[in-house]
Amino acid sequence: MGERSGYADVLVGLQYGDEGKAKIVDMLADQYDIIARFNGGANAGHTIVTPHGAARLMQVPSGAFHPGKLLYIGSGCTVNIVKLAAEIEALTAQGAQLDGRLFVSHRSAVIQPIHILADRAQGRDIGTTGNGIGPCYAGLAARMRGKERTAVQLRDLLRDEDHAFAMMQANSDSEGFQATRDEASEAIWLEVFASMRAAWERVRHFVSENDLFLTDKVADGARVLFEGAQSVMLDLVHGDQPFVTSSHTGPAYAYVGGDLPCQFHRKSIGIVKAVVSRVGAGPFPAELGGERSERYCTDAASKGIGQSEERQTADVEALLACGDDFATGVALRVLTGEYGTGSGRPRRIGLLDLPQIRRVVALHGIDELFINKCDCLTYFGKTPKGIIPVIVEYRAEAIGLRPVIAEFSAFEPLDRTARPSTTPAVAAITDIPASLEALLQFIERHVGCPIVGVGVGPGRADIVQLTPSPVH
């Protein structure tokens, strides 16, 4: 590395997604020159509160509202051209200037119409987001079906647009889906491809053919923040197959999918939230209400029951007061707004699971932690026991693993009225109640990683930055 060279930090979620990564990226963005994505695609969905109102990001990195910061979408990402064009339009309308700031690797794989159809037909049991991400990565790995190429990268569109669209058409004619084709669906296909061509016109000038884009910039002193999509518990290999996403979500993958040599790595930042959630199917040992909660959420998602329906029917005070785990989960979901950003699906709710965090901190070499949604822990004060339950161990028993729960003192809601929610400042450490501080110190010791920030509310100003205490 040269004397002038910069570095990269990688920020990833340590649970099942939706830990509030975008909010932390938005807060840290000023310390970096480039914010980059390395995995996933339009399956990531997050909302950040900006001075221009709430902005919804799916494929564009979360630094969009920091003028002067470059944004990079690496080759490890899948790109939905139509959604990217719409996102660029929407962000531009909200005041984010992206021309000359946003760069997309020409090696990123294109989400083809057939991928979305296949995902919606086959991904139901996993509870995928239906964005075609899995079939797209699968096509990349398959490379060919007979004499036809299965994957289309953005570079194929740059080289020969007509040929790339012919490849996508051939893929959409592939086995299994041919049987469902009729005149009506033929017209829909034509429309879909026409809208892709129109979107491509908007997107093409953001595509970079320079594989050394980040490398050259970092060698010249640039500081990069890689922003992970999904989270490490949803990793294709290290998560619980098949209830995972289809890309690698750990920090090491940033240097493959993000197009930068790993020699520039400085540190890995992990984001967790104090009340955990999972959307879609799959193991969730800390789930409040266990299988009942999973069944209820799956059923609610299929019936289109979301935030407004639950809010109308749930008496949260009564649910919390009854002391039943399932009821507590429903109340916490309503009170903390845990519904899918894109789909609106109710998320399954669980307790903070320290053995799980400890394992992923060790597995992925996490250097520091942010804990979001600590303010949400105050709701446990309204349960009959009035304490905050945290899982500290799993004991093997005949029926399987039994969580061992430690109890922490509840605290009063934090007074956030003094801070305007759009100020990108941070709150003072004195804002943290003593019992929350005791819990944070316990977490640090238990998971073996310093906590550097605590989320105490939804706004940009609701993050308390901490000086890490020595980890024992």
Q: Which residue in 46, 106, 115, 248 is the catalytic one? A: 46
Q: Work out whether 127 is an interface residue with ligand IMP (CB under 6 A).
A: yes
- 76 binds ligand IMP, rule: CB under 6 A: no
Q: Among 234, 391, 436, 439, which residue interacts with ligand IMP (rule: CB under 6 A)?
A: 234
Closest Cα partner for 230 from 369, 453, 26, 42? Answer: 42
End-to-end Cα distance, the chain: 33
- Give which of 338, 241, 244, 356 is closest to 297, Cα–Cα: 338
Give the range of 59-67, 239-247, 268-276, 416-424 binding ligand IMP by CB under 6 A: 239-247
Q: Is 298 in the site for ligand IMP (CB under 6 A)?
A: no
Contact in structure between 320 and 383 (CB atoms under 8 Å):
yes
Q: Which of residues 127 and 433 has its CB atom nearest to ligand IMP in the complex?
A: 127
Report which of 367, 362, 371 is spatially closest to residue 268, judged by C-alpha positions.
Answer: 367
Q: Which is nearer to ligand IMP, 59 or 268 (CB)?
A: 59
Nearer Cβ to ligand IMP (347/419): 347
The reply on whether position 131 binds ligand IMP by CB under 6 A is yes
Nearest approach, Cβ of 233 to ligand IMP (angstroms)? 9
**Using rule CB under 6 A, residue 113 touches ligand IMP:** no
Asked if residue 246 binds ligand IMP (CB under 6 A), the reply is: yes
**Of residues 15, 39, 128, 268, which one binds ligand IMP by CB under 6 A?**
128
**CB-nearer residue toward ligand IMP: 261 or 290:** 290
What's the closest the beta carbon of residue 333 comes to ligand IMP, in angstroms?
14
| Strand 348-350 with 276-278, pairing | antiparallel
Token output for 82 = 């139509």
Q: Which of 12, 111, 279, 414 binds ligand IMP (CB under 6 A)?
A: 279
Binding mask 132-171 for ligand IMP (x = CB under 6 A): -xx-------------------------------------
Out of 9, 18, 156, 259, which one is annotated catalytic?
Answer: 18
Task: Tell me whether residue 46 is one of the annotated catalytic residues.
Answer: yes
- Contact status: 78 vs ligand IMP (CB under 6 A): no
Choose, by CB under 6 A, the member of 6, 17, 289, 350 that binds ligand IMP.
17
Q: Using CB under 6 A, which of 62, 78, 112, 230 touches ligand IMP?
A: 230
Is there binding between residue 80 and ligand IMP (CB under 6 A)?
no
Residue located via tokens 């239906």? 130
Q: Can residue 280 be called a binding residue for ligand IMP (CB under 6 A)?
A: yes
Contact status: 236 vs ligand IMP (CB under 6 A):
no
CA torsion 344-13-319-298 (nearest 10°) is 40
Task: Measure Cα distances from 14 to 19, 272, 441 in Å.
Answer: 8, 6, 18
**Closest among 354, 325, 383, 320 to 449, alpha carbons compared:** 354
Asked if 126 interacts with ligand IMP (CB under 6 A), we say yes
With CA atoms as reference, report the closest residue to 370 among 436, 444, 428.
444
Site string for ligand IMP, 184-223 (x = CB under 6 A): ----------------------------------------
Q: Can you say how many angstroms the Cα of residue 213 is from the centroid of all Cα atoms in its chain?
A: 24
Give the whole-angstrom CA distance, residue 232 versus residue 236.
Answer: 9
Taking CB under 6 A as the rule, does residue 129 contact ligand IMP? yes
Segment near ligand IMP (CB under 6 A), from 10-18, 50-58, 82-90, 453-461?
Answer: 10-18
Q: Does 116 bind ligand IMP (CB under 6 A)?
A: no
* Cα separations in angstroms, 424 against 25, 26, 395, 460: 12, 9, 43, 5
Cα–Cα–Cα angle for 392, 397, 401, rounded to 5 degrees: 45
Can you tell me whether residue 17 is helix, strand or coil? coil
For residue 90, the minimal CB distance to ligand IMP (Å) is 18
The count of other CB atoms within 10 Å of the CB of residue 188 is: 11
Burial class (CB in 10 A: 0-12, 13-18, 19+), 204: middle
Give the containing element (helix H, strand E) for 318: helix 316-322
Question: Quick check: is 18 catalytic?
Answer: yes
Applying CB under 6 A, the residues found at the interface with ligand IMP are: 16-18, 43-45, 126-129, 131, 133-134, 230, 234, 243, 245-246, 279-280
Residues belonging to the active site: 18, 46
